[in-house]
Amino acid sequence: MLTVTRIANLHYFEFTRKYRTVRDKHPFYELLYVDKGAITVEAEHYSGRLADGQLIIHMPCEEHSLSCDDSVGPNVIIIGFEADCGRLAEFSQVPVTLDGMQKKELAEVLKEGMSIWAPPYDTPYLPEMTRRAEIPWGAEEMFGHRLEMFLLRLIRGTEKTASGGSEPHTDSALLDSVNRYITEHYRQKITLDQLCLLFGMNKTTLCADFREAYGESVISRVNSLRVSDAKRLLREGNLSVTEISDAVGFSSIHYFCRIFKRITGQSPGDYERTVRARLDI
């Protein structure tokens, strides 16, 4: 029997190269999965490399740390949880390589968790996750259920998913899901790596099929939504340009101004003055 009794944290890190954590321990399990790149793990039960697509679970109160390579900054999922199941100790000693179906199931766990907890997801040693103001009905139960099912299938060693040779063409329903996710989360940090993980696609297929379906790239879609929202906020006149840049999800004011002018042909300040002048007339 396996029951997840509490979620301690949920993280999606895009580590820089050469990054290293301090040695740490806590009274709950910690699932560690490398979505891209590789890391070196140092723990009581396992010390060694964790490669792309591999997972390990640290035991409660087990001291552990991780370090990144000199050349590549890896993407890593970390989920801290409490559970009643002695079988999880099996995954603290040897890394497990996930198959395609298991990766998809883990992505669903992450997506459900992101509907409960608000970003940032990449802050180390965060004492407590911030819950969203509005949480979908049943999301917490669904998150626990998805995590339990993922762990149960991991224990049973279900690795019979066929790994086809070439990447299939993405169906429209999946692309609609990607587009809907972007529309709902464009104010947050969105990367291609994150989308590929959440929707079980590779980067080449996602970029090509999204452009074919919507006539623009994923990044262009994100920026278009952000600029459209920024134009509304500029018209309302309650926030400064810097505050608007932050509110709609841009990483810096300079990038915001550059993208805004590329899309609208005007700087944010010129756009605001033009709108006000037109309204005055």
Per-residue confidence (pLDDT) for residue 160, from 0 to 100: 44
What's the maximum distance between 2 C-alpha atoms anywhere in the chain? 73
Per-residue confidence (pLDDT) for residue 280, from 0 to 100: 59
User: Mean pLDDT, consecutive 10-residue segments, the chain of 281 residues?
Assistant: 91 88 93 93 93 94 92 89 90 90 90 92 83 92 95 75 45 86 91 90 90 88 93 87 94 93 92 76 43
Which residue in 155, 13, 1, 143 sits closest to 81, CA to CA? 143
Domain 170-281 falls under CATH 1.10.10.60: yes
| Residue at 224: amino acid letter | S
Strand partners, 21: none
Are 73 and 67 in contact by the 8 Å Cβ rule? The answer is: no
Q: Would you tell me which CATH number, out of the four given (3.90.180.10, 2.60.120.280, 1.10.630.10, 3.40.30.10), belongs to the domain 3-156? A: 2.60.120.280
Strand partners, 67: 20, 40
Per-residue confidence (pLDDT) for residue 166, from 0 to 100: 44
pTM, two decimal places: 0.72
Per-residue confidence (pLDDT) for residue 167, from 0 to 100: 46
| Residue at 152: amino acid letter | L
Per-residue confidence (pLDDT) for residue 92, from 0 to 100: 94
Per-residue confidence (pLDDT) for residue 278, from 0 to 100: 64
- Going from N- to C-terminal start, the domains of the chain cover 3-156, 170-281
